[in-house]
Structure 1
Amino acid sequence: MTQTFIVSFIGNATPADIHRLTTITHENGGRWLTSKINYLEDRVAALIKVEAPEETTQYIKEAFLAQPNLLTHLTDCENQTEIRNTEYSIRIDANDRAGIVNDITHLLDSQRIRVIDMNCQRIFVSDVNGVNSNLFIAHISIRLPQNLYIHDIVNELKSLSEDTKVMLDK
């Protein structure tokens, strides 16, 4: 029998520290199902979904908690039977404007769409003719309820403004 849990941590850690945690997990029969690890200057923040045999789960959890420079939180997961084909990655390009992230998240939330990951960037664009503008780019991973179709959601997102382009990432 296996157990699944999510580890979240923030603090100071080198790539070698992260590698040590993956090694401990692997050597004890576990595996990282999903991991999001981000560095910002000298800090790291991470979310990791771990699956491990019941008999080694506590040891793996203790290894994460024992890291002296990390503030760590563990959350047990229930076994879920999610349908994987309802997950999509989309890219949204538009002229930047106040409230664009709010409009996107409100639309997704109103449809009960689960945002798995969202990465937004704003890029200043200038050309030799003196045209200056800000471009908004978002990469979003979403999970749709079974009664929704991705092409309907793409069309709704496109309707947020005339210049909004929405693409399904492969």
Structure 2
Amino acid sequence: MNHLIISFITADRPGIVDSLSNIIGKHQGNWQKSSLHQMSGIFAGVVEIVCPNSSTSALSKELADLENFKIQIEQATSVASVTESQLILELTANDRAGIVQEISSTIHSNGGNLLKLVSTQESAPHFGHELFKAKVTIAANDADVDNMISALENLADDLMVDISR
């Protein structure tokens, strides 16, 4: 079995997920994980699938031939991992340019690996200015977790960090 990671972007319209899932099913693929989003009239996503070795080429070709899609297909390889903790951080701060860079740099420089980042911008209730909110999943060596959390909390006075394991 092959693990394929498919990333795509296309103009939003009804039936995109149906079209993708039909092609994947036609080639005996199994949809494993995905993250799909509509933003400003564009639909984008990343999908992990597993498919038989004998179907990989035909599946990849049919996906690559989808009209009006920008698509990239990568075959994933298994990587042995070090014993790590997985943390979910919920971050809230006043929005400002560079906040994602500050957060990602702090995670990286303290031994963390950013696995997932989902962010939004919304109006602060009763204040009218914009808030940055993010849910971040990271992996880190157990020995690095406390220092990383302290470094994140010290980025700015207005940055709130809620942690779950």
**Alignment TM class, shorter chain as reference:** 0.7 to 0.9
Contact 1:91 1:167 in 2 (8 A): yes
Letter in 1 for 2:134: A
The equivalent residue for 2:57 is 58
CA shift at 1:27, angstroms? 4.3
The equivalent residue for 2:131 is 135
Q: Distance in 2 between matches of 1:95 and 1:45?
A: 27
Q: State the SS of the aligned residue for 2:15.
A: helix
The equivalent residue for 1:80 is 79
Q: Distance in 2 between matches of 1:94 and 1:13?
A: 30
The equivalent residue for 2:17 is 18
Which of 126, 131, 149 in structure 2 is aligned with 1:154? Answer: 149
Q: Distance in 2 between matches of 1:84 and 1:17?
A: 38
Letter in 2 for 1:155: S
Q: Which runs of 5+ in 1 are unaligned?
A: none
Which of 153, 157, 163 in structure 1 is aligned with 2:158? Answer: 163
The equivalent residue for 1:94 is 93
Contact 1:96 1:134 in 2 (8 A): yes
Q: Which runs of 5+ in 2 are unaligned?
A: none
Contact 2:12 2:38 in 1 (8 A): no
Q: Distance in 2 between matches of 1:3 and 1:158?
A: 41
Greater than 6 Å deviation, 4+ residue runs: none
Residues 42 and 160 (structure 1 numbering): CA distance in 2 closer, same or farther, change over 3 Å?
A: closer
Q: Distance in 1 between matches of 2:122 and 2:12?
A: 30
Q: Distance in 2 between matches of 1:22 and 1:56?
A: 15
Letter in 2 for 1:135: L
Identity %: 19
Contact 1:21 1:63 in 2 (8 A): no
Contact 1:116 1:143 in 2 (8 A): yes
Q: Distance in 1 between matches of 2:19 and 2:123?
A: 40
Q: Please, what TM-score do these two structures have when normalized by structure 2? A: 0.80
